[in-house]
């Protein structure tokens, strides 16, 4: 005799992951969780084979940031009574992160000290308390906020310069370029909000790095190389340059340059890959001509300068800047 087909699940459990508590609360035996029409997501969490789980690729992720699809990941985080954090949160939020922050086959989450470790496979627990104000939902997953995620990134930093944290922070507070003649977009957050999240985080490994980095975060860097250029100039003992500086501040149509030393009439431009198009090269040539007509010197930098630590830019500013 063929085995009897399992009875259909209750409607509210048929299309999402559920725990054994959900099952018994609905009046079912936990034995129902062992039937072949269900998938075990992780210990204590099951779902129907037919339930929609979502797909990271459909959400624009080239690589899965965690080892479960979105709906399953949300269930795992809730099962652990934590919030997605650290590497996983940084990847889900789309932070500009250094190369050493990449998917590692685990889901990283934070839980308070007094609630112990989760003990779930493929889950890395960080014993950290996260106040409700620093929790949000991303693709249905309880997750640390954008600001708290930046703070937690500091705890992953190896010893050395805090440049990666500054780069990530600059990207968060920048108003993105929206196109020729259009107003810039809204920033994802502010330095004030980052500082508030850092204060709420209290003491943790990396707090000094976070404080140092936050003091260096500025609005106006349109790319990581622009931040690296600014930091290279500062590390060489030069004054801090002005970012996204209009040659004539009173003229909203005047050309703007990436970095500038206005008292010395010096401008610096970093030309990334998008500057190779014919249209962009035409705009760049027009901008450079207007800058020169205004009596400014201009230096254009490329990936070769970046790989060299922007030494040419440092020497050029020193040579042409007034003492």
The reply to whether 71 and 208 lie within a common domain is: yes
Cβ–Cβ < 8 Å for 17, 47: yes
From 183, 214, 245, the end of a domain falls on: 214
The reply to whether 133 and 184 lie within a common domain is: yes
The reply to whether 154 and 243 lie within a common domain is: no
pLDDT at 273 (0 to 100): 47
The reply to whether 70 and 166 lie within a common domain is: yes
Could you tell me if residue 219 is inside a domain? no
pLDDT at 48 (0 to 100): 84
CA-based torsion, 16, 19, 22, 23: positive or negative: positive
pLDDT at 1 (0 to 100): 45
Could you tell me if residue 1 is inside a domain? no
Could you tell me if residue 3 is inside a domain? no
The reply to whether 232 and 169 lie within a common domain is: no
pLDDT at 67 (0 to 100): 93
Q: Give the C-alpha separation, 247 to 53, whole Å.
A: 52
Domain containing 25: what range? 11-48
pLDDT at 182 (0 to 100): 74
The reply to whether 72 and 125 lie within a common domain is: yes
pLDDT at 279 (0 to 100): 60
pLDDT at 268 (0 to 100): 96
Residue whose pair of structure tokens reads 């989450």 in the numeric block: 109
The reply to whether 81 and 204 lie within a common domain is: yes
Instruction: Write b or e for each residue in 106-143: b if 16 or more Cβ atoms lie within 10 A of its Cβ, otherwise e.
Output: bbbbbbeeeeeebebeebbbbebebeeebbbebbebbb
Q: How many domains does the chain have?
A: 3
Could you tell me if residue 307 is inside a domain? yes
Residues of the chain with confidence (pLDDT) below 50: 1-2, 273, 275
The reply to whether 66 and 179 lie within a common domain is: yes
Could you tell me if residue 5 is inside a domain? no
- pTM for the structure as a whole: 0.89
From 189, 214, 239, the end of a domain falls on: 214
From 192, 214, 236, the end of a domain falls on: 214
């Amino acid at each position: 005799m063929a085995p009897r087909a399992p009875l259909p699940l209750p409607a509210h459990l048929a299309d999402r992951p559920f725990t054994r508590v959900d099952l018994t609360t609905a009046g079912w035996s936990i034995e129902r969780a062992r039937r072949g029409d269900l998938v075990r997501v992780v210990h204590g969490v099951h779902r129907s084979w037919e339930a929609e789980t979502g797909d990271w690729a459909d959400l624009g992720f080239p690589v899965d940031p965690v080892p479960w699809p979105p709906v399953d990941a949300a269930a795992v985080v809730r099962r652990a009574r934590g919030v997605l954090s650290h590497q996983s949160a940084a990847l889900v939020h789309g932070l500009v992160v250094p190369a050493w922050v990449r998917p590692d086959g685990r889901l990283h989450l934070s839980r308070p000290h007094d609630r112990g470790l989760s003990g779930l496979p493929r889950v890395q627990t960080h014993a950290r308390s996260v106040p409700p104000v620093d929790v949000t939902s991303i693709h249905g997953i309880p997750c640390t906020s954008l600001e708290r995620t930046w703070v937690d990134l500091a705890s992953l930093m190896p010893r050395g310069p805090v440049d990666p944290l500054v780069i990530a922070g600059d990207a968060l507070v920048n108003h993105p370029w929206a196109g020729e003649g259009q107003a810039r977009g809204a920033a994802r957050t502010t330095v004030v909000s980052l500082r508030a999240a850092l204060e709420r985080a209290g003491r943790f490994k990396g707090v000094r790095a976070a404080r140092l980095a936050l003091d260096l975060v500025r609005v106006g860097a349109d790319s990581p190389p622009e931040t690296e250029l600014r930091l290279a100039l500062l590390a060489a003992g030069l004054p801090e340059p002005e970012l996204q500086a209009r040659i004539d501040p009173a003229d909203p149509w005047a050309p703007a340059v990436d970095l500038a030393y206005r008292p010395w009439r010096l401008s610096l431009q970093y030309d990334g890959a998008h500057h190779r198009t014919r249209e962009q090269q035409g705009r760049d040539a027009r901008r450079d001509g207007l800058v020169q007509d205004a009596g400014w010197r201009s230096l254009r930098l490329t990936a070769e300068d970046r790989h060299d630590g922007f030494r040419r830019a440092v020497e050029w500013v020193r040579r042409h800047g007034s003492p």
